[in-house]
Structure 1
């Protein structure tokens, strides 16, 4: 997992509450176990018509937002089934940060495990950022995880809270496997001692 670094990117407005995981990545795309290649199907049923043509009105199909790295959305983002393909699709599209008033717990946890920063802010602050995001390519916001801030295109700074352990993992690019490998010398030492103490195991 890549280290999460301070960046400035385009923010796309998605003013919808209860965005569920089937909206994020429909069930027909869950056959793969690869974390790449799903970005093209992100919000598939909202992005494409029945013939596979782009729906021009959908925000991520608009020229100003095709390279969005930040998504501003409504409360209870990521509700529904607990499919890890949802953050995979978001990450593969290029979105690194989501801002919403609240998230479904499992989706929230899966974001951190996949290098995505889900920022929780009060509704009134989300509303300010949503309005800012409507400026299109001019809505370039800065996300600073170390300082725990997101800055609007107008320079308004909003502070967010984050668990210190999750912050550490994002800043250092540590997923569950990398965290385990940090202890590899201790694990090897334990296995060697256990092998000598119980050679019959």
Structure 2
């Protein structure tokens, strides 16, 4: 997984609350192979008419938001079902960070496991970022190490779970973060085997062998 440390990129303002996982990728597109990429289906029914024509005034269809790597939205982004395909659609489109006052819990966890940063901001700061992006073509700089979002000489903080921050900074999945504690785990097993020797299974010599 690609580490996330610092990103300066175009950002798209999505001034909507409660964007759910069914909006992020409608269920009918989930029958397709992930190998095809889900990016073309991101927010499909909000971006396109029923005949497949782009809705010109939808934020993600405008220039330069069309090339955004960052989305700024309102509260409860990623609510709804637990479908990980919602995150796949964002990542396959090219989105590396979503900024919002709150997120669906499962969506946020899935995001981190796919290298997508869910940056939680104060609601007032979120609104200020949306206004800035609506009024200018400013790029945002998201610094995960400092936990700040900067643009036009101003900066706001964002929150993220410390374990998720570590995973994203290093590009780690759940197995990687467990392996990062391998020495501590080995020490615990060694010490615990002295205190509670009956806990650790012992394989008797010759056990399981077949005699010919």
The normalised TM-score by structure 1 is 0.87
- Following superposition, the deviation at residue 184 of structure 1 comes to 8.0
C-alpha separation in 1, matches of 2:201 and 2:33: 35
Matched ranges for 1:1-201 at <5 A? 1-32=1-32, 34=34, 37-135=37-135, 138-152=137-151, 154-179=152-177, 196-197=203-204, 199-200=207-208
Deviations 1:31-62 (A, max 9, x none): 24637610110000011112212111111111
Between the two proteins, the alignment pairs up a number of residues equal to 195
Paired residue secondary structure (1:72): strand
Residue 197 and residue 70 in structure 1: after superposition, are their counterparts in 2 closer, same or farther (change >3 A)?
farther
The normalised TM-score by structure 2 is 0.83
Paired residue secondary structure (1:134): helix
Question: Mean Cα displacement is larger for which, 13-22 or 157-166?
Answer: 157-166
- Following superposition, the deviation at residue 182 of structure 1 comes to 5.2
Q: Pick the structure with greater CA Rg.
A: 2
Deviations 1:59-114 (A, max 9, x none): 11112211101111111111111110011111111111111111111111111111
Deviations 1:168-191 (A, max 9, x none): 11011011243456578989xx9x
Residue 197 and residue 123 in structure 1: after superposition, are their counterparts in 2 closer, same or farther (change >3 A)?
farther
C-alpha separation in 2, matches of 1:140 and 1:27: 32
C-alpha separation in 1, matches of 2:202 and 2:38: 44
Whether the 8 Å CA contact 1:42–1:89 is kept in 2: the answer is: yes
Q: Which runs of 5+ in 1 are unaligned?
A: none
Q: Which runs of 5+ in 2 are unaligned?
A: 190-199
Whether the 8 Å CA contact 1:36–1:88 is kept in 2: the answer is: no
Residue 10 and residue 135 in structure 1: after superposition, are their counterparts in 2 closer, same or farther (change >3 A)?
farther
C-alpha separation in 2, matches of 1:178 and 1:24: 28
C-alpha separation in 2, matches of 1:197 and 1:18: 59
C-alpha separation in 1, matches of 2:45 and 2:22: 9
- Following superposition, the deviation at residue 197 of structure 1 comes to 4.8
